């Protein structure tokens, strides 16, 4: 993605440059073929207010984009008004109070760079250009989130514009129902986020990564091992298993075991990843790297080159699962055997929710393990071959799923449970209070009103 340049403007359907401007809002290069009537690139809150007024006058529904990293392109709908918040990318840090005010269009990487100067940290997403807008609304599995909590748990306040144009602040003590709804509703949220107020954390002193690569024939052994060690992996380690047709270093189908660690000291970092060196399957590995000191921002930028290149088409889907590994292995083999070409991949994340319950918020669904699939292709001619792959693979494993995570949602193609039923009912009721006329779009896959 590119950062927005110049002053934002209003685009009308049919005018020269309109299609390019609309498609440029999306990380996923797929053209879904639908277009809004108008795209407003807002520069300030007054322009957001005017855009909502135009939408109300024209009886248009509004969809919102900040960083455009919704794989499903949730903001691209037919008709209505598309509001881009990408230019709301300001960052103001109060290092003494350890808080920041940040616009929804701000990239994670930019926030991280600004915080580094103050030796502070926030659990931003794993790709540098994911913006805080959608990331924090859907929950946010960020760097260090297994220890620090979902990124949205570090949101302490939100400045919002409601459907009627009123600006309000939401926090635990002010408009708590809006605050509850904003933390986990993702594409189902029903107001415009103008600004987040964030709680900041001390910057981890030791950030590093260890990696082990296996040939695909060892898939059963690798996943059985990961499943067995899962609950004992220190919370400072994000154990990820990536199935890929071209594994790093061996350039053939394989499994990349990636263990980033964020710890207060190097001794703790080394101790935290000891389970990899001690692993009973280590001799099956094609290679094991040492623990390599590496900034999280560098890890993100490398991952963007190796796994998330720009200007390509994507299909994604996911499940949260607590199912026994024997039930999951057939699905994992099917993923490996049918995967579109590299850099398509799947992610097995050793999530393991914390023992303490999370705060009461819309986000309410998770499981011990997270499995997501990312299909990638470069040419429109291949849409028919690959576009349904992620949906098919996750539909086949649906029986083992407790629901999905909104981060990698595919609701337009495969609607699935993304929060507890009681929370979804409460969310609908809060929406009815603040957006009774249905100005803001519902999540893709749920019928529009
Ligand atoms: C390469 C890549 C890596 C990713 N890595 C991670 C990761 O490590 N962890 C993780 O949790 N997720 C990750 N994601 C998922 C990502 O966090 C979500 O797609 C998130 O919604 C992206 O935020 P965005 O603002 O960039 O996207 P957008 O597409 O702009 O927003 C997604 C949706 O959020 C809503 N929205 C956005 N901005 C606003 C606003 N200002 N006001 C109201 N509603 C708004 C809209 O409904 C919009 O359709 C990744 C995605 C990609 C493509």
**Per-residue pLDDT tens for 353-391?**
999 999 999 999 999 999 999 999 999 999 999 999 999
The distance in angstroms from the start CA to the end CA of the chain is 32
pLDDT band at 1 (very low <50, low <70, confident <90, very high): confident
- Residue 199 covered by a domain: yes
State whether 286 and 189 are in the same domain. no
State whether 383 and 255 are in the same domain. yes
Collapsing DSSP to helix, strand or coil, 344 comes out as coil
- Residue 426 covered by a domain: no
**Per-residue pLDDT tens for 28-74?**
999 999 999 999 999 999 999 999 999 999 999 999 999 999 999 99
87 contacts 42 by C-beta, under 8 angstroms: yes
State whether 162 and 185 are in the same domain. yes
Q: What integer best gives the mean pLDDT of the chain?
A: 97
* Of 421, 422, 419, the residue nearest 189 (C-alpha): 419
Ligand 1 binding pocket includes 390 (Cβ within 6 Å): no
Q: Which of 41, 60, 84 is the last residue before a domain boundary?
A: 84
pLDDT band at 448 (very low <50, low <70, confident <90, very high): low
Enclosing domain of residue 72 = 10-84
Q: Which of 69, 187, 316 to mutate to test the pocket of ligand 1 (most atoms within 8 A of CB)?
A: 69
Q: What angle do CA 411, 104, 314 make, to 5 degrees?
A: 35
Q: What is the number of alpha carbons within 13 Å of residue 125 lying toward its C-beta? A: 25
State which ligand 1 atom lies nearest to the alpha carbon of 129.
26
Q: Which of 84, 110, 141 is the last residue before a domain boundary?
A: 84
State whether 236 and 274 are in the same domain. yes
State whether 276 and 172 are in the same domain. no
140 CA from centroid of ligand 1 (Å): 9
- Residue 423 covered by a domain: no
Instruction: Verify cis geometry, omega within 30 degrees of 0, for the bond prior to 343.
Output: yes
Ligand 1 binding pocket includes 36 (Cβ within 6 Å): no
Q: How far apart are CA 211 and CA 152, in angstroms?
A: 29
Q: Which of 133, 158, 409 to mutate to test the pocket of ligand 1 (most atoms within 8 A of CB)?
A: 133
**Per-residue pLDDT tens for 128-171?**
999 999 999 999 999 999 999 999 999 999 999 999 999 999 99
Ligand 1 binding pocket includes 68 (Cβ within 6 Å): yes
């Amino acid at each position: 993605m590119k950062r927005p340049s110049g002053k934002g403007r209003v685009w009308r359907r049919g005018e020269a440059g309109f299609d390019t401007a609309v498609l440029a809002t999306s990380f996923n290069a797929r053209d879904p073929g639908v277009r809004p009537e108008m795209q407003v690139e807002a520069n300030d809150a007054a322009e957001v207010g005017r855009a909502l007024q135009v939408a109300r006058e024209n009886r248009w529904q509004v969809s919102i984009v900040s960083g455009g990293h919704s794989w499903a392109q949730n903001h691209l709908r037919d008709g209505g008004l598309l509001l881009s918040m990408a230019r709301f990318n300001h960052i103001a840090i109060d290092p003494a109070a350890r808080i920041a005010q940040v616009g929804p269009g701000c990239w994670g990487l930019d926030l991280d760079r600004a915080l580094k100067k103050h030796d502070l940290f926030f659990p931003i997403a794993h790709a540098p250009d994911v913006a805080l807008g959608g990331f924090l609304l859907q929950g946010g599995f960020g760097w260090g989130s297994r220890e620090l909590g979902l990124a949205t748990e570090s949101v302490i306040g939100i400045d919002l514009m409601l459907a009627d144009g009123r600006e309000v602040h939401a926090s635990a003590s002010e408009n708590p129902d809006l605050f509850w709804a904003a933390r986990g509703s993702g594409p189902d949220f029903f107001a415009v986020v103008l600004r987040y107020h964030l709680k900041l954390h001390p910057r981890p002193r030791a950030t590093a990564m260890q990696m082990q690569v296996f040939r695909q024939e060892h898939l059963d052994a690798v996943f059985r091992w990961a499943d067995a060690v899962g609950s004992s992996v220190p919370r400072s380690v994000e154990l990820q298993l990536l199935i890929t047709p071209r594994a790093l270093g061996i350039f053939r189908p394989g499994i990349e075991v990636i263990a980033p660690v964020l710890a207060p000291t190097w001794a703790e970092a080394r101790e935290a990843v000891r389970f990899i060196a001690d692993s009973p399957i280590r001799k099956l590995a094609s290679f094991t790297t040492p623990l390599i000191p590496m900034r999280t921002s560098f890890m993100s930028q490398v991952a963007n080159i190796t796994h998330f290149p720009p200007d390509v088409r994507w299909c994604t889907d996911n499940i949260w699962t607590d199912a026994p590994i024997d039930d999951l292995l057939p699905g994992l083999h099917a993923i490996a055997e049918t995967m579109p070409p590299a850099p398509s991949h799947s992610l097995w994340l050793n999530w393991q929710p914390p023992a303490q319950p999370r705060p009461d918020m819309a986000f309410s669904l998770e499981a011990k393990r997270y499995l997501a699939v990312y299909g990638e292709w470069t040419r429109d001619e291949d849409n028919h071959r690959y576009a349904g792959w992620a949906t098919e693979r996750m539909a086949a494993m649906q029986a083992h799923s407790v629901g999905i995570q909104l981060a990698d949602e595919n609701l337009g193609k495969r609607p699935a449970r993304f929060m507890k039923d009681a929370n979804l009912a409460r969310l609908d009721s809060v929406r009815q209070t603040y957006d009774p006329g249905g100005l803001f779009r519902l999540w893709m896959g749920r019928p529009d009103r």
